[in-house]
Amino acid sequence: MSGKVALVTGGSRGIGAAIALRLAEDGADVAITYVRDEAAARDVVGKIEATGRRGLAIRADAADAAASVAVVERTVTAFGRLDVLVNNVGVGVLGPLDQLGLDAVDQVLDVNVRSVFLTSQAAAARLGPGGRIVTVGSCMAQRVPGPGGTLYATSKAALIGLTKALARELGGRGITANLVHPGPIDTDMNPADGPFAEAQSAMTALGRYGSAAEVASMVGYLAGAQAAYVTGAEFSVDGGHAA
């Protein structure tokens, strides 16, 4: 990916940070977005720069429609081009159906669906032949193992239709769009030694949590030249959660 530029939304921690670092290690300059933790974002930029690539942290709230669009132009202004968009930003709100109020619905759909659409739309205007859009979904778009996931699963399932439509819309320009579904992944938001870890591990065929680097490896493949004939597809990195 030498000479390429990537934008990773929600790239200051967890899966997003691992993706940003993987793309930098593969040769890309990488911009990341964050909403609160500037120190964490700067740390990721430092790791990107340690690979010899350029890094940029952009503060942007994905719940803000204008901000979701502006991050693309800020990346292009800083680096001169855009080749890869990774839609990683997302929020998880779980709870009983009768306790999910309008504020929760708006928050989840604004961040998990609207922002992905708007950022992809803005990126599509900047991507050239060989461009890549990779979106991070969830294993809960394919299998909801228990109650409490209606809102989150709805938002992640919407990304399936969006990805397939983007593939059709942009395929004639040589741009691909694909979707990665992580399963239980060891992050600070859902640690492998946390209170829900045993139950979540038991839902997988491998009986364990995955690592952020394992998800990043799939994204790195889809963002690279070897995946030029792969588009409109879903890839599960879930340890067999959906098996």
Domain that holds residue 150: 5-237
Can you read off the two tokens belonging to residue 78? 């800083």
Residue type, 239: G
What distance separates the 2 farthest-apart alpha carbons in the chain? 51
Catalytic residues: 152
Mind listing the pLDDT tens digit for each residue in 107-119? 999 999 999 999 9
Q: Looking at the domain assignment, is residue 242 inside a domain?
A: no
d(CA 219, CA 206): 21
pTM of the model: 0.96
pLDDT at 189: 84
d(CA 52, CA 24): 8
Mind listing the pLDDT tens digit for each residue in 201-241? 999 999 999 999 999 999 999 999 999 999 999 999 999 99
Mind listing the pLDDT tens digit for each residue in 35-94? 999 999 999 999 999 999 999 999 999 999 999 999 999 999 999 999 999 999 999 888
Q: Looking at the domain assignment, is residue 183 inside a domain?
A: yes
Averaged pLDDT of the chain: 96
CATH number of the domain within which 152 lies: 3.40.50.720
pLDDT at 188: 87
- Of 158, 25, 148, the C-alpha closest to 93 is 148
pLDDT at 122: 98
Residues 33-59 as b/e (b if ≥16 CB within 10 A, e otherwise) read: bbbeeeebbeebbebbeebebbbbbbe
Q: Looking at the domain assignment, is residue 55 inside a domain?
A: yes
Average pLDDT, stretch 130-138? 98
Kind of pairing, strands 234-237 and 5-8? unpaired
d(CA 106, CA 115): 12
- Tell me how far CA of residue 101 lies from CA of 15, 62, 95, 97, 153, in angstroms: 28, 20, 10, 9, 16
d(CA 34, CA 163): 23
Q: Looking at the domain assignment, is residue 197 inside a domain?
A: yes
Matching residue, tokens 């792969």? 230
pLDDT at 88: 97
pLDDT at 31: 98
Q: Looking at the domain assignment, is residue 56 inside a domain?
A: yes
| Total domain count, the chain | 1
